[in-house]
A and B are shown apart, each in its own frame.
Chain A
């Protein structure tokens, strides 16, 4: 049948299972928006293109499906760059559709023209400029396949206006399916890993975002429980292993738990799955897991031996690898009793007792950790939590236990302030019946605060828990600890009255200034039917502890007692 480019675009999106997109109109998109007017696909009208990409990203992280953003040419396209780079660093499958000036004007510095394919080349998994309408359907299908296959990532498609208006013969194609992970015959390496596990007296698992992206949380749990190996997960991996399980060590690295870092520093076998040895995790690389044989499973060969040289590299998606480990453990009737792990467990318990994750409660000032603990208690750990970046993010990672994958959405690699709130909108679109809470700081929230209007217009009742200290807290913390308390340009005392701002946008605004108000404010905000912003005026100079100094080895941690006393 003869169809226009814009019609084909919508048809192909529907075929790819897309029912909602996040977008912002513009001149070159008029053909597409005219098509969207028919209402076949839900369109969420954001207030800034960065918000559209983060929302698509949040949708993808929560649902495991590809998220889609649609923006116009020129500034619309260039405004997506941070969102795309963010998804690229965290391997999130999104497809970004950018409008482009008509093909005959490309390269002429036309109005609202920008070379977005050139700009996003290093921060997309792949990108396309479509110059002919007969390439359209095939290319969009390919883009979705690239975004969701292998190590997922963002794909951008640049759509010139004339291509959207042009007519061509369209025949529906079946979307290419990503091959399901399935157990493969056990490799030599898998047998070797079995030997290593059997020989080890101090083994542990370190899992990352790949386990969540690969849908392998169940297999990870099975392996940990079968082998009684304690588990630590990177920021990106939180939720893959239950945060309330006795084998759970907490997050490792710069603001990880003392016992996770000590376990890594003393283990004799480290099975790293779907993680990439980021510098925030490893600290000084020469001192990372110095006594351990390291097994590294990753779907991306370029992640292996990139930062840490490993003993057993396994290029595989996490699910297949874990399935084959678990099958072998079953075949070999592998068993280990608590007694065999006694010494190792005792050691970990001693570290845990020595320096538990803790903070000094106050009667007069609200401690941010207390807000998050109370949030955890009230939500029974069932909420989807998104975070901004900085102290709020670290406290959210430390003091809320994540029991399920895809429930902690945070900008891990790029560290994008302003990510959490639009991501929360995306997650709420994916799961309208779940409670979605953005844990924010007063710096970060102001970076994409315009999306408060989106939440009202499109009825997306998310919650914002604002840990408000009037500082760019994490940078201030470094100034406090390493730059002689010279708080150069991190004081943001001048800020809007967030209660009035909430009201102005049609939100419920609540505020707590004393610890005894925290629970009531949280309750009221969470139970309110619509979106709510809860402004917690927290202790201004609270720091995130424990902390590994930048570039230091992870077993040397500042515990913050000196600050607490």
Chain B
């Protein structure tokens, strides 16, 4: 069966150990979590976990059923099934040189990024967008000499209830 990336949103209790339980459901069955984002909801008693994993349709259904069995998981939504907005943020630290400055400015402009901080010959760039935009930006920056980078992984929200 064809595999694709699924985005799941989990409403969970905001307690120690809950993330480990969720991760254990996937890890214990040999499934990788590609991206993971967690923070409290408006009600601090709950957190929202958004994770992505590459699966076929049958497997993702089984994973969802196992996740909702956890006592501390209250709701599981497959955001790939509904219309939703998806974002990811990437921070990239670049070494600046006379040769790459001009091209770098062009890339930042193209991907609607901005320079967050500059320190001597180092700068940190922030770029936000959906997954494909981030991938493209990363690919464009790579030849210019990326020092290090960090990505938040995907967050996603249904367009309507």
Contacts and interface: CB of A to CB of B under 8 A. Distances in A.
A146 B72 CA distance: 12
B21 A302 contact: no
Interface string B40-74: 00000000000000000000011001101111100
A122 B17 contact: no
A306 B71 contact: no
A126 B15 CA distance: 14
B20 interface: yes
B24 A121 contact: yes
Interface residues of B, number: 14
A122 B71 contact: no
A300 interface: yes
B62 A302 contact: yes
Interface size class of A (residues with CB under 8 A): 10 to 19
Contact of A306 (B21, B62, B68): B62
A146 B65 CA distance: 18
| SS class, residues of chain B in contact with chain A | helix
A306 B65 CA distance: 10
Contacts of A146: 71
A301 interface: yes
B17 A117 contact: yes
Nearest to B17: A117
A512 B71 CA distance: 52
Contacts of B68: 301
Contacts of B17: 117, 121, 129
A124 to B, nearest CB: 10
A496 interface: no
A117 B20 CA distance: 11
A300 B20 CA distance: 22
A118 interface: yes
B143 interface: no
Interface string A100-123: 000000000000000001100110
A160 to B, nearest CB: 14
Nearest to A126: B71
B28 A118 contact: no
B20 A302 contact: no
B69 A122 contact: no
Interface in A412-437: none
Contacts of A126: 70-72
11 contacts: A117-B17, A121-B20, A121-B21, A121-B24, A122-B28, A126-B72, A300-B69, A301-B65, A301-B68, A302-B62, A302-B65
8 tightest A-B CB contacts, nearest first: A302-B65, A126-B71, A122-B28, A301-B65, A302-B66, A122-B24, A121-B24, A302-B69
